[in-house]
């Protein structure tokens, strides 16, 4: 073998023989060495020349040869890259942007959509829900939970939980802490470890047991107690009750918002029709979701037979926990975002490919020479792959670094209520995907250049003269530019559709007016307030608030607009009251007080708003107000509901006179028709944590200190919870659509830039190549307009073809978006045509510069050149 091995030995032998012969001719040894060295000249240069001579030979096999090639080719590639820093830099940056976008989007979607369950071994975790007679998944009531937990044979553990705000007193002013009520099995089921002490015992969540215990989250332990192990046994006054700290759990990953846990006491004799528990359960070994489902469904059927008053028509369902946590809309938008970022990555690959062909065209002379010197085609291809790999490695590394830097930024501007977003981190899977993306990019971006190169005749058969040197390069680049425009159209169209949907969503007539309203809650815990005291406190609070400067109206409701909490019940027109619950109309209900309609900006259509006198605990049935939807559904014959009565579903029934009808308010979900709604007096359902709306003349946020002082003036142990402009609650509901739209818009801009760069390159190269021809035409009297048209026509044809292909693909791909868009069709002609025109405009502008430069060409200069 004549590879580099042994070259030194071969040359040493020669020198030694030379010295021997010179000495034989009578030279002194030292003189002979000098003479030999002189004859050899620069021995390093000889060595290099030998290696070069070898490498231009026909390819021979062997791994050693290949490794040798690659190390040498890497050095060669580096020199090539350094010689054309602009195109190489552009390629690296393009790829880095593609990889960074892929990594960030994948990280976010992975956390929010693909792996949303922040618990160990999420595969075995399920949610157990009750199903309303109308087929909607619902929470579980305490007695039903007890029965499910006792009778089930499918789960290794079943636990219930409920979010709860607590008032912490005893250390200065009252403070609200967010906590969770949890049944004793919750920590084991979720796989949350105990850091210190212990968690709840079964008797601690049983009625009558020693339930005054408390478990801290490790975050709260650190913030509030400096990780002092002496916290065990300490007492805390929570909602006026003294509780003992028994343990600390590592729950911050699972439930970052919960500072502490108290036992969720499940009373078998409680209200079976009051569904308040979120139930999660871990499947037993080898049990499938389907088996667990039939187990639970059978129990639910039993319960419906045993307790028809509360359970008639109600079923149950077992689903994977992530299905319960991520709505189908969120999931599909997330997957769509992944698909879009895939397109962006593909776009980046095509652009890098294009840049590589540019670089090759410039190096054609050198490459042809190397081919003529005997460099095999495979060898040249290896070299190209090495170059692409280098760009991919550098671009990929830069992309991952950029992803690390961008992620916190995305988390800051991203939807804050997506709890999991804040926990998103670049993990192993995500990194593997980034690496795969970079390798994919290297391969894809290397295909077109390699094809271009290997097809060339003078390289296939060295020695043939190069003809049509630039034509083939142009054909390949033309195809790449058309592909760029097709991809760009897809991404731009997607961005347009999602953005239009978002705009429509924000223009929806909500039926109420969130501007200028401050929303907050107060906590009036059971221990400190009875039902009447609670109503009394709210009435006094609303009166005080309405007395403040700039306050127009104030009202209360058990749930503020867009709260995660959406009370439901069942209603029927008393005149046509059905026998069974499943034939009642499921409604959303609110218990309100004060000038709630005025404060929320809900128009009263007929009749009157509720008055405090409407509810008298011992007196006649209270009045209710229906919204437009409920009125039309309960009284489909169009008769005036006012004066008629409706039946509120509860054991024994309850007939209530309708006193007014108001506009329907979309205060639960923005993107769907509002559920029918009934408003009842607050005093009927004076819940622990009512929300207050205050409408002001001025800036809603500026009212916060006023509100705090008014509440403290009434009772300094009552905390003001989450005071914020109502507008913010609204924007939170469109947070995920907005995040998707923002991401797609930035992808769209990037794609436009890349497409512009691509077509500019082709046009500029075309003008350069035809400079002579253009000069002749100009010299022969061609009008500048004709020349511009000539240049434009050629390049714009590519853009047109690309946009055409893109449009053809956009229609089938748009189906992915069906059901995700609000009042915009996936084949919306305005968006598609707008996107097409935008791209053609970008193409026109990009091509205009080289075209004008062509016209300015001085004929004499080009002709004499």
Task: In angstroms, give the least distance from the CB of 390 to other proteins.
Answer: 26
By C-beta, is 374 or 834 nearer to other proteins?
374
Name the phi and psi angles at 681, rounded to 5: -65, 140
Interface segment toward other proteins; rule CB under 8 A; list 4-12, 407-415, 475-483, 857-865? 4-12
By C-beta, is 20 or 640 nearer to other proteins?
20
By C-beta, is 1 or 749 nearer to other proteins?
1
State the number of binding residues for other proteins (CB under 8 A).
Answer: 29
Site string for other proteins, 614-643 (x = CB under 8 A): ------------------------------
Task: In angstroms, give the least distance from the CB of 49 to other proteins.
Answer: 4
By C-beta, is 38 or 467 nearer to other proteins?
38
By C-beta, is 373 or 409 nearer to other proteins?
373
Interface segment toward other proteins; rule CB under 8 A; list 53-61, 213-221, 404-412, 688-696? 53-61
Angstrom CA distances, 448 to 98, 354, 454, stand at 18, 8, 10
Task: In angstroms, give the least distance from the CB of 16 to other proteins.
Answer: 7
Rounded CA separation 803/610 (Å)? 59
Contacts of 849 (CB under 8 A, 6+ apart): 760, 764
Q: Among 29, 31, 42, 773, which residue interacts with other proteins (rule: CB under 8 A)?
A: 42
Question: Is residue 66 a contact point for other proteins (CB under 8 A)?
Answer: no
Task: In angstroms, give the least distance from the CB of 465 to other proteins.
Answer: 21
Question: Is residue 65 a contact point for other proteins (CB under 8 A)?
Answer: no
Please say whether the beta carbons of 439 and 392 come within 8 A. yes
By C-beta, is 1 or 475 nearer to other proteins?
1
Contacts of 535 (CB under 8 A, 6+ apart): 593, 682, 683, 686
Task: In angstroms, give the least distance from the CB of 40 to other proteins.
Answer: 5
Task: In angstroms, give the least distance from the CB of 22 to other proteins.
Answer: 12
Q: Among 27, 34, 46, 431, which residue interacts with other proteins (rule: CB under 8 A)?
A: 46
Whose tokens are 């309609």? That residue is 597
Question: Is residue 461 a contact point for other proteins (CB under 8 A)?
Answer: no
Percentages helix, strand, coil for the chain (3-state, rounded to 5) are 55, 15, 30
By C-beta, is 57 or 636 nearer to other proteins?
57
By C-beta, is 44 or 673 nearer to other proteins?
44
Interface segment toward other proteins; rule CB under 8 A; list 44-52, 407-415, 462-470, 597-605? 44-52
DSSP per position, 365-422: HHHHHHHHTT--HHHHHHHHHHHHHHHHHHHHHHHHHHHHHHHHHHHHHS-TT-GGGG
Q: Among 52, 223, 540, 815, which residue interacts with other proteins (rule: CB under 8 A)?
A: 52
Nearest to 521 by CA among 484, 487, 488, 563: 563
DSSP per position, 595-613: SHHHHHTPPEEEE----GG
Q: Among 25, 30, 41, 230, which residue interacts with other proteins (rule: CB under 8 A)?
A: 41
Nearest to 259 by CA among 184, 178, 187, 338: 178
Question: Is residue 244 a contact point for other proteins (CB under 8 A)?
Answer: no
Question: Is residue 1 a contact point for other proteins (CB under 8 A)?
Answer: yes
Task: In angstroms, give the least distance from the CB of 850 to other proteins.
Answer: 44
Nearest to 225 by CA among 171, 278, 178: 171
Question: Is residue 837 a contact point for other proteins (CB under 8 A)?
Answer: no
Task: In angstroms, give the least distance from the CB of 70 to other proteins.
Answer: 18
Question: Is residue 56 a contact point for other proteins (CB under 8 A)?
Answer: yes
Q: Which two tokens stand for residue 38?
A: 């002189």
Helix (H, G, I), strand (E, B) or coil at 655: strand
Q: Among 51, 198, 363, 728, which residue interacts with other proteins (rule: CB under 8 A)?
A: 51
Please say whether the beta carbons of 725 and 518 come within 8 A. yes
Question: Is residue 305 a contact point for other proteins (CB under 8 A)?
Answer: no
Rounded CA separation 102/97 (Å)? 8
Task: In angstroms, give the least distance from the CB of 4 to other proteins.
Answer: 10
Measured between its terminal Cα atoms, the distance across the chain in Å is 50
Task: In angstroms, give the least distance from the CB of 385 to other proteins.
Answer: 22
Q: Among 49, 242, 257, 863, which residue interacts with other proteins (rule: CB under 8 A)?
A: 49
Q: Which two tokens stand for residue 221?
A: 């332990």
By C-beta, is 379 or 770 nearer to other proteins?
379
Whose tokens are 């109308």? That residue is 134
DSSP per position, 147-192: HHHHH-SSEEEEEEEEEEEEEEESSSS-EEEEEEEE-TTHHHHHTP
Task: In angstroms, give the least distance from the CB of 377 to other proteins.
Answer: 16
Task: In angstroms, give the least distance from the CB of 78 to other proteins.
Answer: 24
Q: Which two tokens stand for residue 245?
A: 């700290």
User: Which element (helix H / strand E) includes 833?
Assistant: helix 829-855
Rounded CA separation 527/162 (Å)? 19
Task: In angstroms, give the least distance from the CB of 402 to other proteins.
Answer: 44
By C-beta, is 50 or 466 nearer to other proteins?
50
Please say whether the beta carbons of 668 and 566 come within 8 A. yes
User: Which element (helix H / strand E) includes 68?
Assistant: helix 63-83
Site string for other proteins, 340-379 (x = CB under 8 A): ----------------------------------x-----
Nearest to 572 by CA among 586, 558, 561, 559: 586
Angstrom CA distances, 499 to 332, 533, 686, stand at 16, 48, 41
By C-beta, is 42 or 616 nearer to other proteins?
42
Task: In angstroms, give the least distance from the CB of 71 to other proteins.
Answer: 18
Question: Is residue 135 a contact point for other proteins (CB under 8 A)?
Answer: no
Please say whether the beta carbons of 255 and 220 come within 8 A. no
By C-beta, is 58 or 864 nearer to other proteins?
58
Interface segment toward other proteins; rule CB under 8 A; list 42-50, 289-297, 359-367, 812-820? 42-50
User: Which element (helix H / strand E) includes 145?
Assistant: helix 142-151
Task: In angstroms, give the least distance from the CB of 55 to other proteins.
Answer: 8
What is residue 815's DSSP assignment? G
Q: Among 23, 33, 35, 40, which residue interacts with other proteins (rule: CB under 8 A)?
A: 40
Q: Among 27, 34, 50, 393, which residue interacts with other proteins (rule: CB under 8 A)?
A: 50
Q: Among 54, 212, 504, 671, which residue interacts with other proteins (rule: CB under 8 A)?
A: 54
Please say whether the beta carbons of 518 and 553 come within 8 A. no
By C-beta, is 7 or 670 nearer to other proteins?
7
By C-beta, is 15 or 276 nearer to other proteins?
15
Q: Which two tokens stand for residue 821?
A: 């868009």
User: Which element (helix H / strand E) includes 461?
Assistant: none
Helix (H, G, I), strand (E, B) or coil at 696: strand
CA 176: distance to chain centroid?
Answer: 31
Interface segment toward other proteins; rule CB under 8 A; list 52-60, 213-221, 357-365, 854-862? 52-60
Please say whether the beta carbons of 432 and 752 come within 8 A. no
Site string for other proteins, 10-39 (x = CB under 8 A): xx-xx-xxx-x------------------x
Q: State the angle between helix axes of 428-454 and 469-507 in degrees (0 to 180), rounded to the nearest 10.
A: 150
Q: Among 8, 29, 31, 57, which residue interacts with other proteins (rule: CB under 8 A)?
A: 57
Residues within the interface to other proteins (CB under 8 A): 1-2, 6, 9-11, 13-14, 16-18, 20, 39-42, 45-46, 49-58, 374
């Amino acid at each position: 073998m004549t590879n580099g091995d042994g070259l030194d030995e071969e040359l040493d032998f020669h020198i030694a023989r030379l010295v021997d012969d010179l000495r034989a001719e009578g030279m002194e040894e030292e003189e002979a060495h000098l003479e030999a060295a002189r004859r050899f000249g620069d021995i390093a240069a000889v060595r290099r020349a030998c290696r070069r001579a070898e490498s231009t030979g026909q390819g021979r096999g062997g791994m050693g040869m290949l490794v040798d090639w690659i190390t040498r080719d890497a050095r060669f590639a580096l020199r090539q890259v350094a010689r054309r820093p602009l195109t190489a830099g552009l390629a690296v940056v393009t790829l880095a942007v593609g990889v960074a976008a892929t990594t960030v989007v994948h990280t976010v979607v992975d956390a929010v959509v693909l792996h949303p369950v922040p618990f160990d071994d999420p595969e075995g975790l399920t949610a157990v829900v009750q199903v309303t007679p109308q087929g909607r998944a619902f929470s579980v009531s305490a007695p039903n939970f007890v029965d499910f937990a006792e009778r089930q044979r499918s789960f290794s553990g079943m636990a219930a939980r409920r979010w709860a705000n607590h008032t912490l007193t005893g250390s200065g002013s009252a403070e609200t802490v967010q906590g969770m009520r949890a049944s004793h099995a919750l920590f084991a089921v979720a796989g949350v470890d105990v850091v210190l002490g212990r968690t709840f015992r079964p008797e601690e969540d049983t009625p009558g047991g020693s339930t005054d215990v408390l478990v801290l989250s490790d975050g709260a332990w650190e913030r509030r107690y400096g990780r002092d192990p002496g916290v065990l046994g300490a007492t805390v006054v929570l909602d006026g009750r003294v509780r003992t700290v028994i343990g600390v759990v590592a729950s911050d990953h699972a439930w970052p918002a919960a500072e502490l846990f108290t036992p969720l006491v499940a009373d078998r004799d409680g209200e079976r029709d009051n569904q308040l528990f979120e139930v999660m359960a871990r499947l037993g070994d080898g049990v499938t979701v389907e088996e667990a489902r039939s187990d639970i469904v059978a129990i639910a059927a039993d319960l419906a037979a045993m307790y028809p008053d509360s359970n008639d028509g109600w079923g149950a369902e077992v689903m994977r926990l992530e299905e319960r946590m991520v709505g189908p809309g969120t999931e599909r938008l997330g997957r769509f975002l992944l698909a879009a970022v895939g397109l962006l990555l593909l776009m980046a690959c095509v652009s890098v490919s294009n840049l590589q062909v540019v670089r090759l065209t410039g190096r054609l002379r050198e490459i042809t020479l190397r081919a003529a010197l005997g460099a095999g085609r495979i060898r040249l291809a290896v070299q190209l792959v090495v170059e692409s790999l280098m760009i991919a490695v550098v671009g990929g590394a830069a992309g991952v670094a950029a992803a690390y830097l961008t992620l916190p930024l995305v988390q800051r501007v991203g939807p804050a209520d997506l709890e999991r977003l804040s926990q998103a981190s670049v993990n192993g899977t995500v990194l593997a995907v980034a690496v795969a993306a970079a390798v994919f990019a290297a391969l894809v971006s290397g295909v077109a250049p390699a094809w271009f190169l290997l097809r060339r005749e003078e390289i296939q058969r060295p020695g043939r003269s190069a003809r049509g040197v630039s034509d083939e390069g142009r054909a390949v680049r033309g195809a790449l530019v058309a592909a760029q425009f097709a991809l760009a159209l897809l991404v731009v169209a997607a961005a347009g559709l999602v953005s239009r949907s978002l705009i429509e969503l924000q223009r929806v007539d909500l039926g109420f007016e969130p501007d200028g309203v401050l929303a907050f809650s107060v906590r009036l815990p059971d221990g400190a307030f009875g039902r009447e005291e609670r109503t009394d406190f709210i009435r006094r609070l609303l009166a005080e608030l309405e007395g403040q400067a700039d306050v127009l109206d104030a009202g209360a409701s058990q749930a503020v607009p867009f709260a995660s909490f959406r009370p439901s019940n069942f209603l029927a027109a008393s005149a046509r009251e059905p026998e069974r619950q499943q034939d009642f109309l499921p409604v959303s209900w609110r218990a309100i007080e004060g000038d709630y309609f005025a404060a929320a900006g809900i128009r009263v259509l007929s009749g009157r708003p509720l008055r405090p006198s409407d509810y008298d605990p011992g007196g006649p049935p209270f009045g209710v107000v229906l919204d437009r939807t409920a009125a039309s559904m309960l009284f489909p014959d169009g008769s005036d509901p006012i004066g008629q009565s409706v039946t509120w579903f509860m054991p024994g029934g309850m007939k209530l006179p309708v006193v007014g009808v108001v506009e329907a308010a979309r205060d639960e979900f923005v993107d769907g028709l509002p559920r029918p709604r009934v408003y009842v007096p607050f005093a009927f359902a004076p819940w622990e944590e009512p929300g207050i709306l205050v409408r002001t003349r001025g800036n809603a946020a500026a009212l916060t200190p006023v509100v705090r002082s008014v509440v403290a003036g009434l009772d300094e142990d009552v905390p003001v919870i989450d005071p914020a402009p109502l507008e913010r609650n609204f924007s939170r509901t469109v947070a995920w659509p907005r995040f998707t739209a923002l991401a797609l818009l930035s992808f769209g801009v990037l794609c436009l830039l890349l497409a512009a760069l691509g077509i500019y390159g082709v046009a500029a190269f075309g003008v350069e190549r035809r400079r002579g021809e253009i000069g002749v035409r100009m010299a022969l009297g061609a009008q500048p307009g004709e020349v511009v048209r000539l240049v434009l026509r050629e390049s714009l044809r590519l853009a047109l073809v690309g946009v055409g292909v893109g449009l053809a693909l956009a229609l089938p791909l748009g189906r992915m978006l069906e059901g995700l868009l609000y009042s915009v069709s996936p084949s919306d002609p305005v968006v598609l045509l707008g996107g097409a025109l935008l791209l053609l405009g970008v193409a026109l502008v990009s091509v205009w510069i080289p075209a004008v430069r062509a016209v300015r060409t001085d004929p004499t200069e080009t002709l004499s050149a």
